[in-house]
With several copies, the nearest count.
Chain A
Amino acid sequence: MTSINLCICGEAGQGLVTIGQLLAKCLVRAGYHIVVTQSYQSRIRGGHNAFFIRVGASPITAPVGPIDLLVPLNEESIEIHRGEMAADGWIFRDADYGMDGDRNLPVPYASFGGGIYVNIAAFAVTGCLLGLDTSLMEGMVREAFGKKGDAASEKNLSVLARTVEWAKNLDIDFKGLPAPASPSRRMMVNGNEAIALGAVAAGVRCGFFYPMTPATSIILTLIKHAREAGIVMEQAEDEIAAVNMAIGASFCGARSMVATSGGGYALMTEGVSLAAMTETPLVIAIAQRPGPATGLPTRTEQGDLEFVLHGGHGEFPRAVFAPGDVTACFALTVKAFDVAEASQGPVFILTDQFLADSYRAVEPFTWPEATGNPAERDREISPEDYQRYALTDDGVSPRAFPGQSGALVVADSDEHTEAGHITEDLRLRPRMVRKRLRKMARIREAVVPPVFSGDASPELLFVCWGSTMGAVEEAVETLRREGRRAAMLHFSQVWPLRPGDFMDTLESAEKVVAVEGNATSQFARLIRRETGFAITRHVNRYDGLPITPGFILDGIARMGKGV
């Protein structure tokens, strides 16, 4: 087995996320690769949640369907997931549950401590059978429960020890994983944390928000580090306030961001337009969930692409990044701040619940030497005749900040003069329109081109964007193993597009399939709008779950012989 798909599940409030995180971190420390998928409902207690860890000794990039190891924290969970078990999958379940049949291991949780210690015991059994070092697990328990006072820590450690003792003596045919390659030191981070850390690296100074799943953890991560990093974070009264606060802060020189999901973004669109008109840098992170309206608040989808491309009235430049994995979440957030500052306007980071919540083992994030303050023009400011909207060749005007130089800074949401004052001069208007649009060139220069991988002259080319990258990558690998010339073209920046970056690839492929987490193939439409190239084959998922390699392969299979 090259990877094991592990599912810890039960009711909300049972602490399964804690077990999952501890286990995942141990696996990462042991040198494994992981892809975590969190499945939860819009409620605090009860219902059914699951924390999937797919773990591999060599790199893996996508969630998969069949469960190799189910760790149910309640009986109902077994019913729910029974149908998803891999043929040789195992269920590690409480010995008290009535259950028969093969490949299920009754675990005498009560005997290890019971009650709230079931979680630690489940962690221990699972870790043990996956081949984790006991000392690694002990260290993790100490880190996690040490603060609670020695007593708690000791109790947890003794449950751990007892469970490990029991598990070590088991003799079942559960196939563990080979030892990973000599483990480099890596971080365990999910998409939302990576965005927050990217913002820290980019020098974010202020963040504003109104809580909204699945974006909230971007904010909570920033808040966790705010004191240390000297960042001001404020919960706004609504999303409209959040975006306007960010604009106010950015106007005063603070790199600023907001984070939300589709519905909150809807309320921010007027502010996006304001950022554009006042030429104020603004970074907007949007973690998508299925809509319309409240939709499925805790699930995943890629249904807001077109809304993000076009939200806000009037015409203005913008950039939209769509990271394909956790590492890209970090790097593209840094870049988003730079592009926002270089183009003095709104820039988006578009992810989704799957990626937001998906922990991965990643190479250590590094301080982006190149960032800081690319607004090199600030130096040219002469306070006496400073004009915030001076008409320049590239449309970018020198940016001064109130109270930070002798210059008075005047910004206006109305059409304005170079000095920033409201105007009704209709001859000036088109010049200002063109000035703003000219900044698109700066954005275009900095575009992250799509990444191509797979067969060099593919008969089957998958086009995808954002979080589906890993699933497409693995589907391509499978197809290639089956002897097909398959390849992937993944866009981690979906706007603007530079056809020169990818048209050859598109046109040389025999068959092109767009893979999107939505029902209407929004990115394929965009490609056609920008290039004329019509993609006619589509794999779409819109049931709230992430796209897996299997889903793609099934989709291809359903397309029949021709594909």
Chain B
Amino acid sequence: MVTLADYGEYETAWCPGCGNFAILNAVKQALVKADLAPQQVLFVSGIGQAAKLPHYLNANVFNGLHGRSLPVATGAKLANPGLVVIAESGDGCNYGEGGNHFLAALRRNIDITLLVHDNRVYGLTKGQASPTSPEGFVTKAQPLGNPSIPFNPIAVATVMKAGFVARGFAGDVEHLSDLIVQAISHRGFSLVDILQPCVSFNKVNTFSWFKERCRKLDANHDPTDIHAALEVAMAEEDEIPIGVIYQNDRPPFEDKLGLTANGPVKTGETERREAFEKILSAYY
């Protein structure tokens, strides 16, 4: 039995009161609920406040470049499909710098879980607008207010028929950790967009702002009904539904490639040599 202690306790570099602490708890709880040992799990992150999370628990970790957690996670999963691969980063990382990888991940449906700490701001670089910042959001870099409208990751993932699409809230750890457990156990690409208060730079979408709006999805919401899901995804922000919004059973990418849990890292030298000799025969 895996316990919380297996995942350790570390000092962090986050601001006191940051929503990231709750997300870290939810992640650890989810891993324990899913009975996954640290050795089985690989966290891949980008750069940002969110992306520091994997340093604060015991697991395999690849903390890469800003915006690039998904491709690293994809390569890792393809090399060793036996690993549970979790990509973890901020809204800027995934929907800004890494937006193209997000789109491709939706199409690929590889069996990794993406946890986006969506604080609607660039935290680590001190508070510029992020792709999910509200229109008009005022920052030092956007003194006239953010001129763009926010990215809607849930809606985009849903219309792209991503395998598993959920929204969580850092203010409800129990619920969030359940979502993460489901996301991990879903075979295919799973997105959990996590509403996260940033006490230092987002004075609009604060803890209480989120708290007032977040509503758990109705028990009779059917996540396999894409129309219902889209309805939820496109809802205005006076009520923000949290929970599993959309889900399907598209075969994961690995199946289409015929990969087993072993994956390419496990082929022996003899097999490789035989294949090589056979391959050469076409060149004579």
Contacts and interface: CB of A to CB of B under 8 A. Distances in A.
B91 to A, nearest CB: 12
Interface-central residue, B100, B275, B280, by most chain A CB under 10 Å: B280
A256 interface: yes
Contacts of A242: 71
A91 interface: no
Nearest to A45: B15
A243 to B, nearest CB: 8
B143 A263 contact: no
Contact of B100 (A238, A404, A420): A238
A146 B172 CA distance: 41
A227 to B, nearest CB: 8
Interface stretch (A60-68, A229-237, A468-476): A229-237
A249 B101 CA distance: 16
Interface-central residue, A187, A235, A364, A372, by most chain B CB under 10 Å: A235
A365 B265 CA distance: 24
Interface in B177-226: 200-201
A533 interface: no
Interface string B80-110: 1011000000000000110111011000000
Contacts, number: 253
Contact of A44 (B15, B277, B278): B15
B248 interface: no
Contacts of B76: 248-249, 251-252, 402
Given A220-B140, A252-B265, A43 B276 contact: no
Given A231-B264, A232-B264, A251 B72 contact: yes
A413 B276 contact: no
A367 B16 CA distance: 46
Contact of A252 (B63, B79, B101): B79
Dominant SS among interface residues on chain A:
mixed
A426 to B, nearest CB: 16
Contacts of A274: 64-65, 68
Contacts of B279: 197, 200, 225, 228-229
A47 B14 CA distance: 10
A293 interface: yes
A44 B79 contact: no
A44 B78 contact: no
B61 A412 contact: yes
B104 A403 contact: no
Contacts of B275: 200, 225, 228-230
Interface string A368-411: 00001000000000000000000000000000011110101111
Interface of A: 13, 29, 41-47, 185-189, 193, 197, 200-201, 203, 205-206, 208, 210-213, 216, 219-220, 223-225, 227-232, 234-238, 240-242, 244-254, 256, 263, 270-271, 274, 278, 293-294, 364-365, 367, 372, 401-404, 406, 408-414, 420-422
9 contacts: A45-B15, A186-B284, A245-B72, A248-B72, A249-B75, A252-B75, A408-B60, A409-B61, A422-B63
